Structure 1
Amino acid sequence: MGLLDDKVVLVNGGSQGVGAAVARAAGREGAVVAVSGRRPEPGEALAAELAAAGGQAMFVRADLTDAEQATACVARVVEAHGRVDCLVNSAGLTSRGTLLDTTPELFDQHIAINLRAPFFAMQAAVADMVRRAAPGTVVNVITSSAHGGQPFLAPYVAAKAGLIGLTRNAAHAHRWDRIRINGLNIGWTATEGEDATQRAFHGAGDDWREQAAARLPMGRLGQPDEIADFVVLLLSDRSGVVTGSVIDWDQNVLGGLD
């Protein structure tokens, strides 16, 4: 018996990286999985992979920077499967900007994908749960940088810190609806997106992962499948009554000093 047997799970930003790992883990645990993203090729390939493994899966093409499309993702899943039991917001933008060089356009891009998209996806999913008077779960994938972060992550930190506040606010508002909403502040993780970011903004070479790992306490970067297992636990009944928690999934300790 899987942790998510017969649950309908929507993973926004689920066509690659952490989102794709969550989709695979949810499928292994018995969920009906829907993934959303802008690019149909990886999204449809992932849905086909999950179906070939014996599960039910669908891809919803959406530009999550558009609030209407973020809402429509939920509507598409409800139309196809009758409900959304679990929502994972894993889409993210990590392009660089400091307080001094961030343009209004860059700031708005970060707000659109890192804060506004989760807000309106949650609005639609929670509305479906409330309409059905049914319990549900939401997990927002955030970042340990939301505690302050590097100077070159100013708009990213601003948006993700807002998502922390939103997670707690929504959890408090809907605890009597038995809707549990939690967040995960993930640390440095080896994903396709991180590889592209390191090469584009930091001139990283092919050995950047090894160099990064040597500077980390556990000697390696976090892995998407490890995060995915944690997300599935939070989505499932095995995480009990926990709601409104924003958990630091990282190997560096907040407030610790050497």
Structure 2
Amino acid sequence: MGLLTDKVVLVNGGSQGVGAAVARAAARAGATVAVTGRRPEPGEALAAELTAAGAEVRYVRADLADAGQARGAVAEVVAAYGRVDCLVNSAGLTSRGTLLDTTPELFDAHIAVNLKGPFFAMQAAVADMVGRGAPGTIVNVVTSSAHGGQPFLAPYVAAKAGLAGLTRNAAHAHRWDRIRINGLNIGWTATEGEDATQRAFHDAGDDWRERAAEKLPMGRLGQPDEIADFVVLLLSDRSGVVTGSVIDWDQNVLGGLD
């Protein structure tokens, strides 16, 4: 029996990066999995890969920046499988902007993807759980930068700090419904999206991962599969009664100074 046997898991932003790793880990743990993403190609490829390995996986096309599509993805999964037991919000926008140069349009884009989408996906998933009188679990992938972050991450930090607060608020509101909601403040992680970001905004070359690793205490970047295993644990009954926690999944220590 896997940790998520007989569970229906929806992974938003699940077609690549951390989300795809979570989808793979959830499938290995015995779950029925649905993944969302804006682009069909990677989503359908991941679904085909995991289906060929014996899992029940489907791709749902959705742009999480649109509240209607965020709620609609949950509705589609409920229509297909009768319920959503677990939700993971891992979609994220990491484009750069400081307090001084961020435009209203850039700010709104970050709020839409990093906060509004998760809010309305949670709304729909929790409504399904409460309507069935059933327990459930949610994990929001936040960021260690939610504690403050770099100056060039101003709109990202604003939105993700909101997601951390939302995680605690929703966990408190629905603890008597037996719905556990937690978050992960993940640190610097080696993903396809991070590779594109480093090249687009920081003139990074092919060796950026090695150069970054030299600056980190453990000598390497975080890996998506490591985060995914942690997410599966939080989604499962093995994490006990834990709710309302936003856990720092990072190799730097908040408040620690050299």
What TM-score bracket applies, with the shorter chain setting the length?
A: over 0.9
Compute the displacement of 1:57 (Å): 0.5
> 1:206-221 alignment to 2 at 5 Å?
206-221=206-221
Separation (CA, whole Å) in 1 of partners of 2:25 and 2:65? 26
**Corresponding residue of 1:243:** 243
Matches of 1:59 and 1:230 in 2, distance apart? Answer: 23
Q: Where in structure 1 do 4 or more consecutive aligned residues deviate above 6 Å?
A: none
Aligned equivalent of 1:116: 116
**1:114-153 correspondence to structure 2 within 5 Å:** 114-153=114-153
Q: Determine what percentage of the aligned residue pairs are the same residue.
A: 88
| Structure 2 residue identity aligned to 1:181 | I
Q: Which residue identity is paired with 1:205?
A: G
What one-letter code is carried by the residue in structure 1 that aligns with 2:156?
Y
Mapped partners of 1:57, 1:211: distance in 2? 37
Matched, 1:104 2:104: yes
> In the TM superposition, what is the alpha-carbon distance from 1:238 to its structure 2 partner?
0.3
DSSP-derived class of the 2:10 partner: strand
For 2:26, give the aligned amino acid.
A
Measured in 1, the distance between the counterparts of 2:189 and 2:64 equals: 22
Which amino acid in structure 2 is aligned with residue 48 of structure 1? A
Aligned to 1:192: 192
Structure 1 residues 194-230: Cα deviation after superposition (integer angstroms, max 9, x where no partner) = 0000000000000000000000000000000000000
Structure 1: where are the runs of 5+ without partners?
A: none
Q: 3-state SS of the aligned residue for 2:106?
A: helix
- Please say if 1:55 is aligned against 2:66: no
One-letter identity of the residue aligned with 2:66? D
Aligned length: 258
Alpha-carbon distance between aligned partners in 2 of 1:82 and 1:59, rounded to the nearest angstrom: 16
Q: How many angstroms does 1:89 deviate by? A: 0.0
Q: Following superposition of structure 1 onto structure 2, how do residues 221-240 of structure 1 map, counting pairs within 5 Å?
A: 221-240=221-240
Whether 1:179 and 2:179 are equivalent positions in the alignment is yes
Aligned twin of 1:25: 25
Residue by residue over 1:145-176, the C-alpha shift from the partner in whole angstroms, topping out at 9 and shown as x without a partner, is 00000000000000000000000000000000
Matched, 1:204 2:204: yes
Deviations 1:80-111 (A, max 9, x none): 00000000000000000000000000000000
Query: Which residue identity is paired with 2:67?
Result: A
**Over the residues paired in the alignment, what is the CA RMSD in angstroms?**
0.3
Distance 1:156 1:63 in 2: 18
Task: Please give the alpha-carbon distance, in whole angstroms, between the structure 1 residues aligned to 2:203 and 2:26.
Answer: 35
Is the partner of 1:64 in helix, strand or coil?
coil
What is the aligned partner in structure 2 of residue 83 from structure 1?
83
Q: 1: distance between equivalents of 2:42 and 2:7? A: 23
CA distance in 2, matches of 1:111, 1:63: 13
What letter corresponds to residue 161 of structure 1 in structure 2? A
CA distance in 1, matches of 2:85, 2:48: 22
Q: Read off the aligned partner of 1:225 and give its amino acid letter.
A: D
SS in 2 for 1:75: helix
* Letter in structure 2 aligned against 1:186: I
Partner of 2:64: 64
Distance in 2, matches of 1:81 and 1:41, equals 23
1:107-134 Cα distance to aligned partner (Å, 9 max, x none): 0000000000000000000000000000
Query: Once structures 1 and 2 are overlaid, which stretch shifts more, 189-198 or 48-57?
Result: 48-57
Deviation at 1:136, TM superposition (A): 0.1
| AA of the residue aligned to 1:65 | A
In the TM superposition, residue 36 of structure 1 has moved relative to its aligned partner by: 0.2
